[in-house]
Chains A and B, each alone.
Chain A
Amino acid sequence: MTDSIRHIYRWDLDKTYLRTDFDTIRDLVRTALQRPEDKVNVPGVVTLLKELTHHTDDGRAYLTFISGSPTQMRAKLEAKFALDGIEPDVFILKPTLQNILKGRFRAIRGQVGYKLDNLLKVRHEGPVAGETLFGDDAEQDAFIYSLYADLAAGLIDRDLLFAILDEAGVYAPTRASILERFQSMRKDANVGRIFIHLDRHTAPGRFLVFGPRVVPITNYFQAALVLFADGVLDVEPVYRVAAGMIRNHGYGIPQLANSFQDLLRRRHLGRDVVDRLATAAATDALPSGLADEFLIRVRALAPRQSRPTTAWEGPPDYLAVLKADQKLREKIDPEPGLF
Chain B
Amino acid sequence: MGDTRPINIAVDAMGGYHAPDEVVAAVAQASLKREDQTRPVYFTLVGDEVRLTERLVESNHNSERIQIRHAPTVVGLSERPRQAIEDRPDSSILQACDLVRTGEADAVISAGHPGVAVLAALQFFELVEGIPRAALASVYPTPRVRGEKEDPFSLILDVGATLRATPEDLLNFGLMGSAYARIVSNNDRPKVALLSNSRESTVGPDEVVAAYDLMSTHPTLNFYGNIEGHEIPRGLADVVVCEGYAGDIAIKILEGVSEAAFDLARSAYNSKMAWRMGLKLLSGGLKQLKQLTDFEEYGGAPLLGIDQVVILCHPRSGKKAIGNALKLAIKNVRAELPTTIAEALHG
Interface check B67, CB cutoff 8 A: yes
Contact between B49 and A255 (Cβ–Cβ < 8 Å)? no
CA distance A254 to B64 in the complex (A): 8
Query: Contacting chain B: which of A85-93, A198-206, A228-236?
Result: A198-206
- With a cutoff of 8 Å between Cβ atoms, the chain B residues found around residue A184 in the complex are none
Query: Contacting chain A: which of B134-142, B193-201, B279-287?
Result: B279-287
Contact check: which of B57, B68, B280 meets A339 at CB < 8 Å?
B280
Instruction: For residue B1, give the distance in angstroms from its CB to the closest CB of chain A.
Output: 15
CA distance A268 to B49 in the complex (A): 16
Contact check: which of A208, A255, A266, A338 meets B287 at CB < 8 Å?
A338
Contact between A304 and B49 (Cβ–Cβ < 8 Å)? yes
Q: Number of residue pairs across A and B with beta carbons under 8 Å?
A: 81
Interface check A54, CB cutoff 8 A: no
Interface check B87, CB cutoff 8 A: no
Contact between A337 and B283 (Cβ–Cβ < 8 Å)? yes
Tell me the A289-325 residues at the B interface (CB within 8 Å).
301, 303-305, 307
Contact between B50 and A255 (Cβ–Cβ < 8 Å)? no
Interface check A218, CB cutoff 8 A: yes
Interface check B40, CB cutoff 8 A: yes
Instruction: For residue B37, give the distance in angstroms from its CB to the closest CB of chain A.
Output: 7
Find the residue from B6, B57, B58 having the highest chain A CB count within 10 A: B57
Q: What does the 1/0 interface line of A252-272 toward B look like (CB < 8 Å)?
A: 101101110110011000000
Interface check A250, CB cutoff 8 A: yes
- With a cutoff of 8 Å between Cβ atoms, the chain B residues found around residue A202 in the complex are 60
Known contacts A250-B37, A261-B68; A200/B60 CB under 8 A: yes
Contact between B62 and A252 (Cβ–Cβ < 8 Å)? no
- With a cutoff of 8 Å between Cβ atoms, the chain A residues found around residue B63 in the complex are 204, 218, 258-259, 262
- With a cutoff of 8 Å between Cβ atoms, the chain B residues found around residue A219 in the complex are 64
Contact between B60 and A339 (Cβ–Cβ < 8 Å)? no
Known contacts A304-B49, A307-B50, A338-B265; A258/B42 CB under 8 A: yes
Instruction: For residue B276, give the distance in angstroms from its CB to the closest CB of chain A.
Output: 8
CA distance A201 to B63 in the complex (A): 8
Q: What does the 1/0 interface line of B55-88 toward A look like (CB < 8 Å)?
A: 0111111111111111000000000000000000
Contact between B61 and A201 (Cβ–Cβ < 8 Å)? yes
Contact between A203 and B60 (Cβ–Cβ < 8 Å)? yes
CA distance A219 to B290 in the complex (A): 40
Q: What does the 1/0 interface line of B241-276 toward A look like (CB < 8 Å)?
A: 000000000000000000000100110010000001
Interface CB pairs A-B, < 8 A, 10:
A201-B60, A203-B57, A254-B6, A254-B42, A261-B68, A265-B53, A303-B70, A338-B262, A338-B286, A339-B269
Q: A252-B40, A258-B64 are in contact. List 4 more A-B contacts (CB 8 A).
A: A202-B60, A219-B64, A265-B49, A339-B266
